[in-house]
Amino acid sequence: MKRAGAGRAADHGLTHADRRGRARMVDVGRKAPTTREAVASGRIAMNAAAFSAIRSGAAGKGDVLGVARVAGIGAAKRTAELIPLCHTVPLDFVAIDIRLRARDRSVLVEALARTRWSTGVEMEALVAAAAALLTVYDMAKAIDRGMTVGPIRLMRKSGGASGEYRRGAGRAARSGSKREVRGRTGRRGRRGSA
């Protein structure tokens, strides 16, 4: 008996499903290592009291943004433990940029992951952004349990056989351009790195 959806995985190019639609890990052993980079971003919105406490450094648990930055870096390095079919990737660099945006009382996170390896680092960047945002929630939840996380999304990726992707530039926009990718605020902030 054929499973519902079997065969569709291959039709749509899903690499983590075999021809019968079963989950599988992708074999990257024959791929040549190349430099790969990914940037993910996300935000957490909150009430005025929580935003003020984070901005002034008065949150009861301490340095919210500093701890969130370290959490994002640490999470990127443990992505394969959280996402079942991810490969363990030797990361060369992780950076977490965190900014406060007063107009909508939100914390913006941008996570960058880089490696020279045979598979990409999109998941590492996404996990880093998510962990940083969830850490902000954890550290400020005593003030505002109604904080809203999201969206969290891939902004760009480069390297590998699929080429370059940039959000808003098409499904798989290929470009030799090294232009700076800007967050929703239109400017870059300082980055924490590992």
Residue 169 forms part of a structural domain: no
Catalytic-residue membership of 97? no
Catalytic residue among 18, 92, 97, 138: 138
* pLDDT greater than 90 at residue 191: no
Q: How far is CA 192 from the centre of its chain?
A: 15
Residue 39 forms part of a structural domain: yes
Tens digits of residue pLDDT in 6-57: 444 444 566 767 787 777 777 777 788 999 999 999 999 999 999 999 999 9
Residue 119 forms part of a structural domain: yes
Other beta carbons less than 10 A from residue 76's beta carbon: 30
Instruction: Give the pair of three-digit tokens for residue 121.
Output: 């680092």
Residue 18 forms part of a structural domain: no
Q: How far is CA 188 from the centre of its chain?
A: 17
Mean pLDDT (whole number) for 157-170: 89
Domains in the chain: how many in total? 1
Residue 13 forms part of a structural domain: no
Contact between 167 and 153 (Cβ < 8 Å):
yes
Q: What is the residue range of 99's domain?
A: 31-158+185-193
Q: How many whole angstroms separate alpha carbon 53 and alpha carbon 143?
A: 9
Residue 128 forms part of a structural domain: yes
Residue 152 forms part of a structural domain: yes
Tens digits of residue pLDDT in 81-92: 999 999 999 999
- Strand-pairing partners, residue 59, are none
The CATH number covering residue 84 comes to 3.30.70.640
